[in-house]
Structures are given as structure tokens and as C-alpha cells.
Amino acid sequence: MRTGFAAANGEYLVTLDSDLSHLPDYIPRTLVPIEPDKADIVLASAHHPDFVVRNVPWMRAKLSYYGDKVLSAGVRGQLHTLTCIVCAYRREVVKKLELVSDGKDLHIEIIQKANLFGYRLTEIPATLDWRDKSRAKRVGKGSAFPLFALSGIIASHLVDNSVLRALEVPLDL
């Protein structure tokens, strides 16, 4: 993502999951709130009240849902999903944030920092559909479900949330 952001020269940037869990038709959908200047970042939320989740194993869906609930506290509970990759960004917002993450945490770092600096974040309902049925069957079997890696990601997000919330400065000063 950082390489793509650095090479991009358009006014808006859109990211998608490489496995196409969300179809490319989300590109124009995520731009709808940005283009009339109503948002700086738009997330396609699989936990939005109008969401749909299909073919995702029950345990994986629950871990994702509750993980996003915890992470949402770091952005004052205004978002339902922070872990989605499907997002549209104003290029100038991404360029202004000093990003340090190199891995899977990058998209959450962007959301947390953008929120901290007062950028406008919103979300649209999304449909998460694991179309590859064999993928759903593999989750939870052997090393295909890296629970220890997942716990490390969750822990790092919780620490990031706590630090960013502690650094938050009231805007009325």
C-alpha cells in the first residue's frame, strides 16, 4: 500500500483486498462521499448496520466483529469497521500522515491517525463474500489460521489505540 500511495498521482486513492473479497464495484461507491467533499476517508464496512457477510466461517466472522468493536473505541466508536482494506482516501490526507507501519497494520494506522488529526471518516455498508468455498473450509485447520499471529496483530492495535487516545488533545485549546 505504501508503494502504491507513493506512486499515485490522482486526487483520490482506493485500496481493495487482493483476494477480491470485495468486488471492484466498491471503487465508485467509496468515492461518492469523498467527491462532494463530505469525507476525507471512506471505509467499506462489513460491520455496518446494513452489511452482509457470506461464506465466512462463524468463528472468523465473530473474531472480526468483536475485534472491530474494540478498535472502534480508539476512534470514539464512530466506525463499525477499522480492519477493512477497501477504502477511498483523499491523496493529500495520506501524504500528510507520517506512516510507520509496513505490514497489515498500515490501514488501521491510517484510520487512527486520520481520526486523531480531525479528518472526516465515514463508512458505507459492504458485502463481504468469501467466494472461494475451499478457503472457508481451510480456516481453523492447522496453520491456515494463524491464531498466534492474529493475537499479535490484535495486541498491537490495542496498544496503538491506547497510545493515540492518550495523545489526543482537545481541539478547543
- Residue 34 amino acid letter: I
Tell whether 56 is covered by a domain. Answer: yes
Tell whether 152 is covered by a domain. Answer: yes
Tell whether 173 is covered by a domain. Answer: no
Long-range contact pairs involving 81-85 (C-beta distance under 8 Å, separation at least 24): 81/43, 81/45, 81/46, 81/47, 81/48, 81/123, 81/126, 82/43, 82/108, 82/111, 82/112, 82/157, 83/107, 83/108, 84/22, 84/43, 84/44, 84/45, 84/46, 84/126, 85/15, 85/16, 85/17, 85/22
Tell whether 90 is covered by a domain. Answer: yes
Tell whether 104 is covered by a domain. Answer: yes
Tell whether 133 is covered by a domain. Answer: yes
- The pTM assigned to this predicted structure is 0.73
The domain of 69 spans 2-167
Tell whether 85 is covered by a domain. Answer: yes
Q: Specify the CATH number for the domain of residue 28.
A: 3.90.550.10
Number of domains composing the chain: 1
Specify whether the CB–CB gap between 104 and 141 falls below 8 A: no
pLDDT tens for the chain, 173 residues: list them: 888 888 999 999 999 888 777 778 889 999 999 988 899 999 988 878 777 777 878 888 788 788 878 887 777 767 888 788 899 999 999 999 989 988 878 888 998 899 989 999 999 988 777 765 554 444 444 444 444 444 555 555 555 555 555 555 444 43
Tell whether 172 is covered by a domain. Answer: no
